[in-house]
Structure 1
């Protein structure tokens, strides 16, 4: 971040998610301005009130739906009207079970829109505004599921893989204009999205993920695995030869 905290604006997409709420609390304490974008206006209003109680400069709730591009421009216009450094954190995504998608292939469209194409289109529209200011950060939350297609969640994994590739190219592009792009790859996080999946390996909490994000932003990291153990784990998984991998149940 290149400006003082009171001149920071954060667009938070998917602001109703557990991790997004933890992130909102963390930036509210710095006195930043937050734009809370999501589908549930009642929840966004409650989050805005909570952020104001924590010392945020201002908190603006606004409708965002990754599947409805007509909701994008109003957010960008609102952000562009703010002075100082503009940032964006993307927590949008949906994860139907693979069994549900197998039973109803129409779920593929929404999964990819929520987790990849909707956020990518929004960031593509936002990019010129950030380039013009030659500063700011983008946090794009992907998943370790995007590192290799696995039998249990390959549609969700494909969406997150596409988003990670998009963020890599966006980082290459915007980095030439002073904008930092961080790709975050969490493993299982204790949130509403993972409820019902049972105990998962190396599960972490939303607050721990947010702390890792801020540390990675300070260090201008390109990619963050959280928890850190997922970096060696996924490195090994990506190296498994395909004939062997096809016989595995991971």
Structure 2
């Protein structure tokens, strides 16, 4: 039985991951912002040992406290910590409103750091475990449609690279989960196409990536070759390709 903490457990994707792990018999500590949604996810995990805690991750002091409390709730041992929260925000508003730009960065980067600092130290002390963090393919290249969000996710990718190398001697793995678009409430207003994954598919791929202690996993896998092309397209050409650089 693994001891697992999930931050952002009420997201559609994380809830599916939690249900998979509960069915496997893991002990879960679920953390999210909305107590009612947390209770619903915990109910889906019936049969497993589950505890919950609520709090706003954008309050950095509270986020840090939630990480410490989560470790304590599992008796001081953590086998897997999954950080799954995030918010696309309003890109066009962020181009004119500094407060919105700052909120997007706070939610998608700084609040994650506030969790990772205490979690990394706890796993480093126990010299085992896995930190897994959901980022986004939006961090692979700045595009007008989501570059504020993408910049936060890109910064998180670099942070995780450094953290992975730091924790390697302690036997702690760090898995970066680069999600493509998923059909969830967060993308409800976005036109859907064949590249959108279901929450169930995303949860399965996340579970497998963590189990094999992957360094970087694209979810679903087909985003790896797609983003290789996007990342390496020369800027003058990229700007002329509306399907890549348009809104």
Following the alignment from structure 1 to structure 2, what is the Cα–Cα distance between the partners of residues 96 and 126?
26
Following the alignment from structure 2 to structure 1, what is the Cα–Cα distance between the partners of residues 218 and 70?
32
Following the alignment from structure 1 to structure 2, what is the Cα–Cα distance between the partners of residues 222 and 41?
32
* Contact 2:5 2:70 (C-alpha < 8 Å) held by counterparts: no
**Could you state the TM-score of these two structures normalised by the residue count of structure 1?**
0.90
* 2:35 paired with 1:41: yes
* 2:25 paired with 1:28: no
For 1:241, the equivalent position in structure 2 comes to 234
- For structure 2, the 5+ residue unaligned runs are none
Matches within 5 A, 1:167-246: 167-246=160-239
Q: CA deviation at 1:49?
A: 2.5
For 2:72, the equivalent position in structure 1 comes to 80
Counterpart secondary structure, 2:133: strand
Following the alignment from structure 1 to structure 2, what is the Cα–Cα distance between the partners of residues 242 and 214?
35
For 1:15, the equivalent position in structure 2 comes to 9
Q: Any idea what the Cα deviations from partners look like across 1:90-115, whole Å, max 9, x if unmatched?
A: 11111123223235332111111111
Following the alignment from structure 1 to structure 2, what is the Cα–Cα distance between the partners of residues 197 and 74?
32
For 2:142, the equivalent position in structure 1 comes to 149
Following the alignment from structure 2 to structure 1, what is the Cα–Cα distance between the partners of residues 181 and 194?
7
Q: Any idea what the Cα deviations from partners look like across 1:185-237, whole Å, max 9, x if unmatched?
A: 11110100111111135110111111112222232210111121111111011
Following the alignment from structure 2 to structure 1, what is the Cα–Cα distance between the partners of residues 148 and 99?
12
For 1:68, the equivalent position in structure 2 comes to 59
Hey, which bits of structure 1, 4+ residues long, moved more than 6 A?
Answer: none
Give the length in aligned residue pairs: 241
Following the alignment from structure 1 to structure 2, what is the Cα–Cα distance between the partners of residues 152 and 65?
27
For 1:50, the equivalent position in structure 2 comes to 44
Q: Any idea what the Cα deviations from partners look like across 1:148-171, whole Å, max 9, x if unmatched?
A: 001111001001101111111111
* Contact 2:167 2:173 (C-alpha < 8 Å) held by counterparts: yes
- For structure 1, the 5+ residue unaligned runs are none
Q: Any idea what the Cα deviations from partners look like across 1:129-181, whole Å, max 9, x if unmatched?
A: 11111111111100110000011110010011011111111111112111111
